[in-house]
Chain A
Amino acid sequence: MKLRIGIGRPWAAALSMALAMWVVAALPSHAEAQTAASAPELAASSTAVAASTPAPSTTQPSRVAASQINSGDTAWMITATALVLLMTIPGLALFYAGMVRKKNILATMAQVIAVCALVSLLWFALGYSLAFMPGTQLLGNTSAALLDSLYFNKAAAAVSVHHLAASVPESVFVMFQMSFAIITPALIVGAFAERMRFAALLWFMALWSLLVYAPVAHWVWEPSGWLASRGILDFAGGTVVHINAGVAGLVCAWMLGERVGYGHVPLMPSNLAYTMVGAALLWVGWMGFNGGSAAAADGRAGLAMLVTQLAASAAALSWMVAEWLLRGRPTLLGLCSGAVAGLVAITPASGFVDAKSAALIGAAAGVGCYWGATGLKRLLRADDSLDVFGVHGIGGLIGALLTGVFAKASIGGAEGSVTTQALGAFATLAYSAAATGVILWVVDIFIGLRVTPQQEREGLDISQHAEQVE
């Protein structure tokens, strides 16, 4: 019998979670960082004016004169942020909703939009600080909890910037990274689709965002992170977003168990037209995902956008050919899945490789992820409902390793190392799998992960949300 402590009601869950996060965030910050944050520093640091005014290298957010902000970079980053948010709502919501049965469409969409809202507030409360403040090699500090590092004073013409994007206001950097923090756990929704309790989902996503996403983002992207300091190349999140979410999805699928009827009766997708519209929104939004990761409106951003398009196209076609040869029919779902696989695989490489390499990465990802969603899925014996591991996990691994092969110093300023890439990929894989398992175990004890078989048969739309599609 499961232990229940009366927090299974969604409103109570949300309230307790928000309260807990607020208390944690309000704790005294790391002393050193607090000092730095409370000492306004109008440093003339902007990468955009680096040619004329050498920017001091900072390792934490600092305050600069508003005139040092590059309006071109800022305009592009704001646009890119909106594009990435569009990937989740409505892109991912539609992509997944089309693949579940009709009785679970609304629940799937509700899960995605709830994750978006929940992670946004957690990012504000603590996530951003844990991921992007300098701290230890494993985790940032709490100096930017509740976005305490953020500063904007119109009268004084001063604004804070983050050291990873010194030509745009820190608010834009926070929001851009928030859109990544949102989509990563939202991707996992596809692995346990059609059977998880909504309250359990909220708790799982909140804990996963803070305990898995934020640390891994810190390892890979924050200069003090242990993988960043070893030279791992992950331009837009192949490891942080896709391997991380893919492996977590696989663990979720294992721990929640199969859906009723899985492997014995057809579990019909409700409407693959939704999936195609969702895939198209993902594809378009990915231009911001990869292009925005240059943190500037420059040649590297342009190249990132170009290689993104080429890889997606190559993967859509290679998946289509593989499916046509092996199954006798090229399906719409295959084309959509192939495109997403290519987008996933080019994500870590997009600021480091040229166009030819991008086409090769895409072609490899299309075939590799097709195997991941079919042959490997059978071997793993997990009901990963919408193939989160097959597409994001395998695509992320292919992309991470091939970035080590194809990265050019002339593009990204660094040669790739397959060994370092493999270290980062498998360390993320191991940590994400272990931490996800522990979080699920805890949530199962206190909340209970699965709906009852009867609720599952009725569908989550009715049983969890009292709504349905007629």
Chain B
Amino acid sequence: MEMLTKLEELILLSVLRLKDNAYGTTIYRHIQSVTGKNLSLGGVYFPLDRLARTGYLRAYYGEATEERRGLSRRYYYLTDKGIEALADIRRVNEVMWAGFPELAPSEGDHR
């Protein structure tokens, strides 16, 4: 499997979940709300950029609003390579995590 960092994995998953609305701001806010951590936007942006360059994600430019000082959004979607990578991670994770009932997530604690 490709070794991606945890942050990269989270970014890919966010893009998958956010569907057509996956761009910098939304990805950042999504990861922040799930992890509860106060991340730096730059810290998300650069891995995002690298994932796009290395072919896990593809990007296209979207609209520019006044809210953004007239700078356009860049939307991302997963490539096949990205989807494969996530599937890979999932498979490995399940093998690695299997058989530890004491680590199972409790009710209402998911996502």
A and B assemble together: no
Which A residues are within 8 Å of any B CB, using their own CB?
none
Which residues from chain B sit less than 8 Å from chain A, CB to CB?
Answer: none
